Structure 1
Amino acid sequence: MGYQETIPGVVRGEVTGTQCIRRSFAILRLLAGGDHDGEKLVDIAGALKLSHPTTHRILKALEQEGIVERAGGSQRYRLGAEAAWLGVGPFNRCPITRLSAIVLEDLAQATGDSIFLSVPSHNDAVYADRRLGSWPVQARGVHVGARRPMGVSVGGRVMLAHLGEARMKTVLAENADRFADWNCPMDIVLRGIEDTRAQGYLVEDSLTRQGRRAMAVPVRDVGGRAIGAISIIAPTARLGTDRVARLLPLLREGARRVGTALFEQRMAS
């Protein structure tokens, strides 16, 4: 799906308006996963393949609404406070981070390694929460709020594997060009999906950090749909075959606890 897409049955003005909305959300998603110090206009435009005038026009409008701000008065853009206030209501209706907090803490203490909760966001996988363990080497560079095209991270591949077939194909098609930016071959993504479906979990070396390995299991709702993934990220040597076999039941039980808690809260509300 490109930005110049035409929509059958919709007049030109409506298409332009739809394009603007889509571009605005693309910018917001990029900023949400960007550097705390903000992103330069030229980098935003380049990443989204937009012209500089178009990017500037959208950023200016978002800045006027308080959704975007300049970082420290610089020429770098980041999400503004208004974006946080808009998210308060939806956050309370999607309490997976709150309900999973104790599970992540228990897993970090039990394993000594970094434990992450990932959730799907449009075509991305977002690190929604993390807990660091006691082992000297931790995945500190993977921050809460960081985004990857769904399929780049091991947790993202696990969530992809549990999407409906049509939705999975759409995500793969729309992320295909983005995978190249992460040195993520499509065949690795497809193999990860197949392996996850065959065994119910996935262990793979990191594509973004040499010497690091991740293991992920899905967090499912009552219908079996993956609403998140719990991952352990550790040095490669700490996730060998024997230790994976010992840790897998812990991760699966943690994912089950989160899914059950979400179901019980829904039934009680």
Structure 2
Amino acid sequence: MNQEQFDLVKNGKGFIAALDQSGGSTPKALKLYGVSEDQYSNEEEMYDLIHEMRTRVMTAPSFNSDSILGAILFEQTMDREVEGKYTSDYLWEEKGVVPFLKVDKGLADEEDGVQLMKPIPNLDELLQRANERHVFGTKMRSVINEPNPNGIRRVVEQQFEVAKQILAAGLVPIIEPEVNIHSENKEKCEEILKQELLNYLDGLSEDQNIMLKLSIPTVDNYYRELIEHPRVVRVVALSGGYSRKVANEKLAANQGLIASFSRGLSEGVSASQSDDEFNAAIEDSIQTIYEASIT
């Protein structure tokens, strides 16, 4: 593990950019960017277009370590290049931004009010490639829809099980048990989730350090114990479908919680913008998310 990167992620001022839309969410991300499905005829063209969009974001002047600590990449992005360097090397060497990799393969069908992760075949091989590409950490997502104690326990158990495999490979895992912001019992889900997370965190050894990516809690500062836990490097928040303005307002009310927005980050940018317009829009986005993250 790179100690300089570890210290930056743990203590730096800023947020983590989520650039990890995968196969299922890429058409939606492109559509928001102003590229409709009739503008590509197969998956390869679609991935070329999303890489162009991500490259445009990463090469924007304001996308740098002044505001951004890390960026989460999709597997395909890790294997591609930006300005002649592998993406993760470009981020770290040119921008001072720490690279993470999304490793999950999507969600299983809902059961017990939650969606576990689908199995991740060849994870060890992927982690080996991540190390070769100088990636610092990983991210994986599950979803909690209902305050079902058994379901939530299974989400956390699965997340920590995979996290230990990732830790063994020398990478820092971001555990993401997302509570659906539209859940009628969001606050109750968060109560059960926090307790389960604390139970598992207390079971980690001193050399096992993880990160958490959580929905912004209903009660301000509800995750303070998680943020202060000695095994937690950083707690980051997802925008979860809130508009950037609303997500920023909610985030700013939580001390020590920083953003890891995907849709919130790229809101307001489009393929039709000139480079100057695009760079101005992304700079505005980065600035507002940064300000909400440093409260």
TM-score normalised by structure 2 residue count: 0.27
Larger radius of gyration: 1
Higher relative contact order (CA 8 A, sep 6+): 2
